[in-house]
Amino acid sequence: MAHTSARPPQKPTPDSSRRSEKSRRAIYAAALTLVTEVGYPKTTIEGIAARAGVGKQTIYRWWSSKADVLLEAFIDLSAQTAEATARPEVVGKQSPYEIPDTGDLEADLKLVLRAMVDELLDPAFEAPSRALAAEGVVNEQVGREFVGKLLEPQLQQYVKRLRAAQEQGAVRTDIDPRIALELFVSPLAQRWLQFTGPISYEYTDKLVEYALYGLAPRGPAAR
């Protein structure tokens, strides 16, 4: 009776060693193109398959949904972009978008947030990341994967920079860096996600200033 095989309705796990690299890349490219051209809701698995010159079954064999395809495609795109961006100065792995430490926290943060503004307005990134963010809002599993694989690694760079700032005396030591970073990152994210306001360098500069020095007057009379 009991051999080594599983009992219940198990999927006939595909053999990944025989997987076609060419098809995979064509599917990534088709998914990213379509989501940019026709928008996420009108992007269909049939459409991706047709555009990639691939059978539908090839997509269903390796992915579970169009969100899953797009997530992997976007992760792949991000990895490529990061690789291209990273100067090949050090052989060791370049962490995603390392934040500079010139000793001037305010300037460093303003610089990085300005770079984020540029990225948010780059059409090649905007369509797929908007689509994934939208899916993640309503589908917790996709949301957590999106955050875990793409967003949180970037946020950890801020944690790192803020910890350094605490050692330099530029940030109070009783502050939780993981929360502190949200004071300037989340407002930008919300304006971009929900169209709650315009996005500009002046705006992100102000966010950094407000967050660092607080809304309350700093005179000795305060508090």
Partner DNA sequence: GGTCGGCGAGACGGAGCGTCTTGTCGGGCT
Partner DNA sequence: AGCCCGACAAGACGCTCCGTCTCGCCGACC
b vs e for 17-48, b when ≥16 Cβ sit within 10 Å of the residue's Cβ? eeeeeebbebbbbbbbbbbbeeebeebebebb
55 binds, among DNA, its own copies, none (CB under 5 to 8 A by kind): DNA
CA 176 vs. chain centroid, Å, equals 22
194 binds, among DNA, its own copies, none (CB under 5 to 8 A by kind): its own copies
Contact string 193-212 vs its own copies (x = CB under 8 A): xxxxx-----x--xx--xxx
Between 8 and 198, name the residue whose CB sits nearer to its own copies. 198
Tokens (6 digits) for 220 = 């000795």
Tokens (6 digits) for 27 = 């599917």
Binder among 29, 86, 155, 199 for its own copies (CB under 8 A): 155
Tokens (6 digits) for 70 = 């797009």
Give the side-chain half-sphere CA count within 13 A for 175: 20
- Residues 72-131 within binding reach of its own copies (CB under 8 A): 130-131
57 binds, among its own copies, DNA, none (CB under 5 to 8 A by kind): DNA
Write down the least CB distance from residue 177 to its own copies, Å: 9
Which residues have C-beta within 8 Å of that of residue 134, sequence separation ≥ 6? 40
Number of residues that bind DNA (CB under 7 A): 24
Contact string 51-70 vs DNA (x = CB under 7 A): --xxxxxx-xxx--xx----
H-assigned helices in 6-122 = 21-38, 45-52, 56-62, 66-85, 105-120
3-class SS of residue 201: helix
Footprint of DNA (CB under 7 A): 14-15, 18-20, 23-24, 26, 42, 44-47, 53-58, 60-62, 65-66
Footprint of its own copies (CB under 8 A): 39-41, 130-131, 133-140, 143-144, 146-147, 151-152, 155, 162, 169-172, 175-176, 178-180, 182-183, 186-187, 189-191, 193-197, 203, 206-207, 210-218, 220, 223
